Amino acid sequence: MNDSALHWFRRDLRLADNKALSAALQESARVHCVFVFDTDILGKLTRRADRRVEFILHCVAELADDLAGLGGNLIVLHGRAVEEIPRLARRLQAGSVYTNRDYEPAAIARDQEVERALNADGMAFYRCKDQVVFEQDELVSQEGRAYTVFAAYRNAWLKRLPQADLEPAPLETARGRFARWDDGTPPRPLPRLQDLGFETTNLLELGIKPGTTGADQTLGDFLPRMHAYREARDYPAVRGVSYLSVHLRFGTVSVRRLVNEALRDGSEGARTWLAELIWRDFYFSILYLFPHVVGHAFRRDLEALPFTNREDRFDAWREGHTGYPLVDAAMRQLNRTGYMHNRLRMLTASFLVKHLQVDWRWGERYFAEQLNDYDLAANNGGWQWSASTGNDAQPWFRIFNPVLQSKRFDAEGRFIRRYVPELAGCSDKLVHEPWKMSPAEQAAARVLIGEHYPAPVVDHAQARQAALRMFQGIRPAAGSA
DNA sequence: TGAAATGTTGGGGCG
DNA sequence: ACGCCCCAACATTTC
C-alpha cells in the first residue's frame, strides 16, 4: 500500500460513488484531493459570463466543504493541468495519482502527457471507468466489431447489464483517511470567478442548483415523474424530462445511481429513460473509437456537403429571429438559460442544417458555447444525427416541418409564448405560423409581422426542396439512403 | 425520434 | 336503381 495518493477531480465532482476516489482510498493510507481550473480549457471559452464556470465553482466549493467535514481538504489550483498535476504530485510525494477516465481526444492527449511526466518521476497514474456503464471495448458484435447502429448497441448493452458493476463505489469515511496538505503557508481561499477571469451569470436566478445537493434535489424531483417520462418527454412546455444532464456532465451524480433508479422503477417510462442513458454511453464509445467525428462527418461520403453558410441566416437562427416560432423560442431558451429541450435540439439542428443550409459544425460550435450540459460526445453525436452525417443518423431526406412539429409538440403554444412573448396574443392555431395572420388578426394580436416579429427567413417548401437538392447533389448515383 | 406525394377505398350527393 | 364524381380517410411510396 502506497503511503499517499492524489485524486484528481475533473468531471466527477462528488465524493459518493466515485470510482477513482474509491480506488485511491482503498489502495493508499492517505489521499489528497485536487481540482485544477485548467487554463488550457478555460482559455478556449469565448464568453466571460459562462454559467458552466460558475456551476463548477459552486461544485468545487461544496466538494471542499464535504472534504473538510471528513478531515481533509481540497487543493484548488489555477493553471495548466499538464504542469500543475505532476508538480503537485511531486511536492506531495504521492506514490500515485488517480482520476476518472475521459474519452475526448484532447483529454486523452492531456492525460497521456500527465502520465509521461508522472512516470518519469516514478509515480503511477491510474484512470478508472466511472463516467459510463460500458466502455468502448466492452461491447462488441459477434464479429468483434464496434457497434455503430444504436438499436444493436442498446440490445448488447441491456444483455450485458447483469454483469455490469452498478454497486456504489465505497467511500471511506473514517476521519484521517483524507490528508490535509500543509506546506507551511496560510491556507489559500477558493478562487473567485473574477480571479479566474469570469463574471457572474444568471445561473442561480434560473433555479439551477449546482453540486451534489443540486443533483440530489433534481433527481428527487424526477423520481416520481419517471414512470410518465415516455408520454411527457416530447413536450417542452411540460416538466417531462429529468433535467439531470448538467449533473451527469459534471459528475455531481453517478450514472450508476441513475441506472439503478431506472431499474428499481421498472416502468415503461423508466425503460425509455434508460435508453437515453444508453445513448450517452453509445456516443462516448463512438467518440473514442472514431475520433475523426470531431470536425468531420462520421460518414465520409457526406463530408463535403455544399452548404451556403450564409451569415445572415446563421445570425437569425442564433438570435431566435427565424420567423418560425418554435425554433425561435428554443433558441431564445438556450440563450437565456443555457438549456434546451431535446426535441427542440433536434428541431433547431435540423432547421439550421436543412432549411438554412448552414454547416452543422457551426451549430455544433454554438451549442458548445451555450449549453450548460455541453458534452463533446453527445453534442457531436446529436448534431451529426440531425445533419444525417452521423453513424445511424436520420436519413438525409427526413426534414422536420417546423410548423407541424410546433402544432404537435406545443399545441397550445405555451412554450412559444413563454420565450417569444411578442406572439402571446396570437390564437392557438396561428401562433405556430403567425405570417398567416391577416392584417386585422395581426392588429388584434398586437404583433405586426415583419415589424415586431420577423417574417420567415425561408419558405418551408422551398427550403425543403433546396435541402433535398443539396444532399442529392453530392451522391447522385445512390439516389436514396 | 418525418413529411409530402401519390395511390386506394368507400360513402354520399346527385343527375 | 344506377353510375359517376367528389373527396375524406387511410395506406403506400418517395424524398
Distance A8 CA to C2 C1' (A): 88
**Do A369 and A385 have their domain in common?**
yes
pLDDT in tens, A47-66: 999 999 999 999 999 999 99
Residue A364 pLDDT exceeds 70: yes
- How far is the C-alpha of A209 from the C-alpha of A218, rounded, in Å? 8
**Do A346 and A430 have their domain in common?**
yes
**Do A124 and A138 have their domain in common?**
no
**Do A8 and A116 have their domain in common?**
yes
pLDDT in tens, A103-146: 999 999 999 999 999 999 999 999 999 999 999 999 999 999 99
A1-10, A30-39, A101-110, A198-207, range with the lowest pLDDT: A1-10
The answer to whether position A451 is within a domain reads: yes
Distance A243 CA to C15 C1' (A): 35
- Which chain B nucleotides are covered by protein, judged by CB under 7 A? 1-5
The answer to whether position A308 is within a domain reads: yes
Altogether, the residues listed in chain A come to a count of: 481
pLDDT band at A479; cut points 50, 70, 90: very low
**Do A338 and A279 have their domain in common?**
no
Nucleotide closest to A479 measured between CA and C1': C15
Residues with CB under 7 A from strand B: A 150, 276, 279, 342-343, 346, 394-395, 397-401, 404-405, 408, 460-461, 464
Give the whole-number percent of chain A exceeding pLDDT 70: 98
The answer to whether position A319 is within a domain reads: yes
**Do A395 and A468 have their domain in common?**
yes
Into how many domains does chain A fold?
Answer: 3
Distance A397 CA to B7 C1' (A): 21
Q: Which domain holds residue A314?
A: 300-473
- The domain that holds A104 is classified in CATH as 3.40.50.620
Contact A49, A22 (CB under 8 A): no
**Do A278 and A325 have their domain in common?**
no
**Do A406 and A339 have their domain in common?**
yes
Nucleotide closest to A468 measured between CA and C1': C15
Residues with CB under 7 A from strand C: A 395, 397-398, 468, 472, 479-480
Q: Backbone dihedral region of A4: left (phi > 0), alpha (psi from -120 to 50 degrees) or beta? A: beta
Joined together, the cell numbers standing for residue A401 give 416541418
- The domain that holds A242 is classified in CATH as 1.25.40.80
Distance A429 CA to B15 C1' (A): 40
**Do A422 and A339 have their domain in common?**
yes
**Do A411 and A395 have their domain in common?**
yes
φ and ψ at residue A362, rounded to 5 degrees: -65, -45
> What amino acid occupies position A299?
R
